[in-house]
Structure 1
Amino acid sequence: MPSASTKGSSRGTLFYAQSGGVTAVINATASAVIQTARSHRVRVLAGRNGILGALNEELIDTSRESAATIAALAHTPGGAFGSCRVKLKSLEADRPKYERMLEVFRAHDVRYFLYNGGNDSADTALKVSQLATEFDYPLTCIGVPKTVDNDLAVTDTCPGFGSAAKYTAVSIREAALDVAAMASTSTKVFVYEAMGRHAGWLAAAAGLAGRGPDQAPHLILFPERTFDEAAFFQQVKAVVERVGYCVVVASEGIQTADGRFVADAGGGKDSFGHTQLGGVASHLAARVKDALGYKVHWTLPDYLQRSARHLASETDLKQAKAVGKAAVEYALKGLNGTMPVIVRTSDAPYRWKIAPAPLSDIANHEKKMPAEFIRDDGYGITDAARRYLEPLIRGEAPPSYGRNGLPKYVELANVLVPARLPPWT
């Protein structure tokens, strides 16, 4: 169990960890964190596989990486240090784990904890800060925003979402051209499955691909609206008869009137307690074929939505770097229990800034699509949604390519520092 600590003169070490599903730009945040810390002569240890790195005392020494390698992280997708889906429970229920983390932090003189993730990660960072205060351990905890679902409270948008939104909108526009070319003799309905358990932000982003009722996507299914199969069939039939084909974007989290997920994969719960989803596109495709007799194709982009660094939004990249830089600066200022969030100051021209927000206002809160963003008929987005979404996918930031035609992504050595504590189980 951690004991009371005497605050010394050492500036200490910064511990950074990535959490949950990664994004096309989470490594850009990591790059900014390390570069900013180096400019202040602060050592950075990264958790191997996220928070598990702290529990298992598997700490990556980022000082072993060159400045050029760290800079190249900004153009590399995935999670450079490894991530994990591990949700710590309350301080009472999981107290040994929290205390183990403090023991590891004490052993390596960690004074700053930066946790890069979503709602659950913000909650973990908040709890760790509370426990450190209880034991009088000098630790500043900062949550760093990241999620393609765009469902974090307080922040205007989440780093990672803009790039996934751009991938979604571009993919729908391109696929729709393909479907249109083949519709007279082949595919009449195309179903695209977008990520989004309870919030339909990514599905909404697909709406940027076209304007008007005759441009794809013709129908968007949001988790914020109850799914009515019979009404859906009527909409599909009407679009096919009017346009010649129908492009559907369905959020993975759509539910029936009785609260059942249409895409319940039957795989139980994940480590966050969420129902394992998957297959809404294939399900809808089969039902449309059976009910209406159309030839249907469907796609499940899944990880492609969050890993497509080649199609990243420049806006998203800039914001991912900005929150990383601000997170270090907030930590060094002692802004404990804080997250750097994105504040929109203007729609036209689009302007934004970074500001601190209390983790207590963010942890375990979920930002859903506002009602005014969903069209009255429930199957599309409004002009208000376009004003919000469009700036987030603006600009291109492609990685450099090698002579082999592939992007030049970087791989880290990820050298661990020697353990100083007995193994933990």
Structure 2
Amino acid sequence: MSPARRSSATTGNLLYAQSGGVTAVINATAAGVIEAARARGVKVYAARNGILGALREDLIDTTKETASAIAALRHTPGGAFGSCRYKLKSLEDNRAEYERLIEVFRAHDIRWFLYNGGNDSADTALKLSRIGKTLGYDIRCIGVPKTVDNDLAVTDCCPGFGSVAKYTAISTLEASLDVASMAETSTKVFILEVMGRHAGWIAAAAGLAGEGPDAAPHIILFPENAFDEAAFLARVKATVERVGWCTVVASEGVRNAAGQFLAEAGTRDAFGHAQLGGVAPVLAALVKEKLGYKYHWAVPDYLQRSARHAASKVDADQAFAVGRAAVDYALAGMNAVMPVIVRSADAPYRWKIEPAPLAKIANREKKMPKSFITRDGFGITAAARRYLSPLIRGEAPLPYGKNGLPNYVRLKNTAVTARLPAFKP
């Protein structure tokens, strides 16, 4: 299926919005979008707090920002314009929201909409790409990839993942050196809980911290595999007896044989996803009760996706590149596509950006291949290393101030004057 095209508009404004959980490099994508549009003489508005800003007509005029401020987005974590977890229903279920979006687009002459997010955001962009014609308004919609989970279909990897992978591998390595130094009289088992509801990409990245049976992490628990308590405890015990200590990395999405999350909080977010967190203490209590080992555990949570100080250069470069490509595609008249990363070689690592249809991406989840997980279920294979290793390479240095902290930018985020009555979704 080739990317959909329409005749390229020559006038109008572009609207950019960030969606879902942010990453250490999502603002690099924003910088790519804004700089590319400025070079083409196109004004960029940003929706404050994602699609909600578009619905509320709460728009930001990025022309009020200096070139240096936009450039500084390339090294600033978080979401510069705010993000949200909000999923549009179908046109049949909630026509009013779609009509409102078209009203906002029309009021501000928005002819291109770029939605920077994951699976659900790709679905939203796809729905909007089809709705303009239905409601009589010419709009081109481009999905822009972003997710730390690395679970978007088609693209080789997702901007945001390489940096969280690097942070996870570094954290596993450093914490393991700490545990090793204390194991004689103190901690025997360290458990690191990482993000990953259904796909174990982040957990797998921890495996880059070391190679061989005695190198940490000694055990990785993937959501792709049902948790086997007996096998887990046996591996922990054998590792401690052989090495003297044991590092465990567990995905938050680990489930038991019945398919239940080991640590489901019992609540759900706006996308209907279970709110997870707490698998590390569950595992730690199990280790203490069954084996009697002293333990420590950690849940980095937001630290994983905000750690710009440990960002991968490859990831930062890819995040910027998809932003620029999204503008090129939009202004070329493309619709319902996403700029995806295509790997052309592993060693040396080479990649390029190509357009892919949103219909092949929206609401599809890419899980790790079985060939990436060792037969015992507790580690990563050579194939996984070949895939993962290039994504964490290179450093993306930060400018530091005299106070010893990074100089991150905070934009003015000047509001665009509203032209429509208030709307409450």
TM-score (norm 2): 0.97
Contact 2:99 2:135 (C-alpha < 8 Å) held by counterparts = no
For 1:364, what is the secondary structure of its paired residue? coil
Aligned to 1:4: none
For 1:23, what is the secondary structure of its paired residue? coil
Aligned to 1:310: 309
1:9 CA drift (Å)? 7.4
Aligned to 1:408: 407
1:251 CA drift (Å)? 0.2
Aligned to 1:130: 130
For 1:325, what is the secondary structure of its paired residue? helix
For 1:177, what is the secondary structure of its paired residue? helix
Gap runs ≥5 in structure 1: 1-6
Whole-Å separation in 1 of the counterparts to 2:75 and 2:10: 33
Whole-Å separation in 2 of the counterparts to 1:304 and 1:62: 28
Task: Write out aligned runs for 1:18-417 (5 A).
Answer: 18-266=18-266, 268-417=267-416
1:8 CA drift (Å)? 12
Contact 2:32 2:324 (C-alpha < 8 Å) held by counterparts = yes
1:93 CA drift (Å)? 1.1
Whole-Å separation in 1 of the counterparts to 2:154 and 2:263: 29
Gap runs ≥5 in structure 2: 1-6
1:136 CA drift (Å)? 3.0
1:391 CA drift (Å)? 0.1
1:98 CA drift (Å)? 1.4
Aligned residues between the structures: 418
Q: Which residue identity is paired with 1:373?
A: F
Aligned to 2:420: 421
Whole-Å separation in 2 of the counterparts to 1:263 and 1:282: 9
Give a deviation string over 1:317-355, Cα, whole Å, max 9, x none: 110010000000000011100000000000111100000
CA 1:58–1:314 in 2, change beyond 3 Å: closer, same or farther?
Answer: same
Give a deviation string over 1:94-145, Cα, whole Å, max 9, x none: 2211111111000000000000000000000000111102123111100000
For 1:360, what is the secondary structure of its paired residue? helix
Whole-Å separation in 2 of the counterparts to 1:67 and 1:303: 29
Q: Which residue identity is paired with 2:279?
A: V
Whole-Å separation in 2 of the counterparts to 1:23 and 1:299: 20
Whole-Å separation in 2 of the counterparts to 1:227 and 1:371: 16
For 2:334, what is the secondary structure of its paired residue? coil
TM-score (norm 1): 0.97
Contact 2:8 2:333 (C-alpha < 8 Å) held by counterparts = no
For 1:116, what is the secondary structure of its paired residue? strand
1:398 CA drift (Å)? 1.9
For 1:344, what is the secondary structure of its paired residue? strand
Q: Which residue identity is paired with 1:319?
A: Q
1:10 CA drift (Å)? 5.7
Question: Does residue 1:13 correspond to 2:43, yes or no?
Answer: no
Whole-Å separation in 1 of the counterparts to 2:263 and 2:330: 41
Give a deviation string over 1:1-43, Cα, whole Å, max 9, x none: xxxxxx9976100000000000000000000100000000000
Q: Percent identity?
A: 70
Contact 1:309 1:398 (C-alpha < 8 Å) held by counterparts = no
Whole-Å separation in 2 of the counterparts to 1:365 and 1:214: 37
